[in-house]
Amino acid sequence: MTEFIPPGTRWFDLPTAFPIKRGGALHGPRLAYETWGTLDTERSNAILIVTGLSPDAHAAANAGNPAPGWWEWMLGAGKPIDTNRWFVVCVNSLGSCKGSTGPASINPATGETYRLDFPELSIEDGADAAVAVVRALGIERLACVVGNSMGGMTALALLQRHPGIARSHINISGAARALPFSIAIRSLQREAIRLDPLWNNGHYSDDAYPESGMRMARKLGVITYRSALEWDGRFGRVRLESDRRDDEDPFGLEFEVESYLEGHARRFVRSFDPNCYLYLSRSMDWFDLGEGCAGTTAQGLAGIRGLERALAIGVQADILFPLQQQEEIADGLRASGCEATFLPLPSPQGHDAFLVDSERFGPAVRDFLAG
Helix, strand, coil percentages in the chain from 3-state DSSP, rounded to 5: 40, 20, 40
**Residue of 41, 251, 294, 370 interacting with its own copies (CB under 8 A):** 251
Catalytic residue among 318, 336, 347, 357: 318
Residue 116 backbone dihedrals phi, psi, to 5 degrees: -80, 0
Residue 297, H or E segment: helix 297-302
Give yes or no for a contact between 190 and 280, defined as CB atoms under 8 angstroms apart. Answer: no
Distance of CA 93 to the CA centre of its chain: 8
Q: Label the pairing between strands 75-76 and 18-19.
A: unpaired
Q: Is 182 a catalytic residue?
A: no
Q: Check binding of 158 to its own copies (CB under 8 A).
A: no
How far is 339 from 65, CA to CA, in rounded Å? 37
Residue nearer to its own copies on the CB measure, 33 or 199: 199
How far is 123 from 121, CA to CA, in rounded Å? 7
Residue nearer to its own copies on the CB measure, 60 or 192: 192
Q: Check binding of 79 to its own copies (CB under 8 A).
A: no
Torsion of CA 11, 120, 24, 147, to 10 degrees: 40
The phi-psi region of residue 39 (left if phi > 0; otherwise alpha if psi is between -120 and 50; otherwise beta) is beta
Distances (CA, A) of 137 to 16, 38, 44, 87, 100: 17, 12, 12, 11, 17
How many residues bind to its own copies according to rule CB under 8 A? 47
Length of the chain: 371
Output the known binding site for substrate: 218, 352
**Amino acid type, 262:** E
CB of 269 to its own copies, least distance (A): 13
How far is 189 from 53, CA to CA, in rounded Å? 13
Residue nearer to its own copies on the CB measure, 98 or 219: 219
CB of 237 to its own copies, least distance (A): 6
CB of 145 to its own copies, least distance (A): 24
**Residue of 5, 220, 293, 335 interacting with its own copies (CB under 8 A):** 220
Nearest CA-CA partner of 163 in 142, 147, 182: 142
Output the known binding site: 218, 352
Binding flags for its own copies, 81-120, as an x/- string (CB under 8 A): -----------------------------------x---x
Residue nearer to its own copies on the CB measure, 170 or 261: 261
**Amino acid type, 11:** W
Binding flags for its own copies, 117-146, as an x/- string (CB under 8 A): ---x--------------------------
Specify the DSSP class assigned to residue 239: B
Catalytic residue among 54, 149, 168, 283: 149
Residues 272-311, interacting with its own copies (CB under 8 A): 278, 282, 285, 288
Residues 179-218, interacting with its own copies (CB under 8 A): 179-185, 187-188, 190-192, 194-195, 197, 212, 216
Residue nearer to its own copies on the CB measure, 45 or 173: 173
Q: Is 243 a catalytic residue?
A: no
Q: Is 351 a catalytic residue?
A: yes
CB of 319 to its own copies, least distance (A): 6
**Residue of 232, 308, 339, 367 interacting with its own copies (CB under 8 A):** 232
Q: Which three-class secondary structure state does DSSP give residue 352?
A: helix
How far is 91 from 93, CA to CA, in rounded Å? 6
Distances (CA, A) of 129 to 41, 61, 361: 24, 24, 27
Residue nearer to its own copies on the CB measure, 269 or 307: 269
Distances (CA, A) of 282 to 109, 122, 277: 24, 8, 8
Q: Hey, which residues are catalytic here?
A: 149, 318, 351
Site residues (CB under 8 A) for its own copies?
116, 120, 177-185, 187-188, 190-192, 194-195, 197, 212, 216, 219-220, 223, 227-228, 231-232, 234-237, 250-251, 253-258, 261, 278, 282, 285, 288, 319, 322
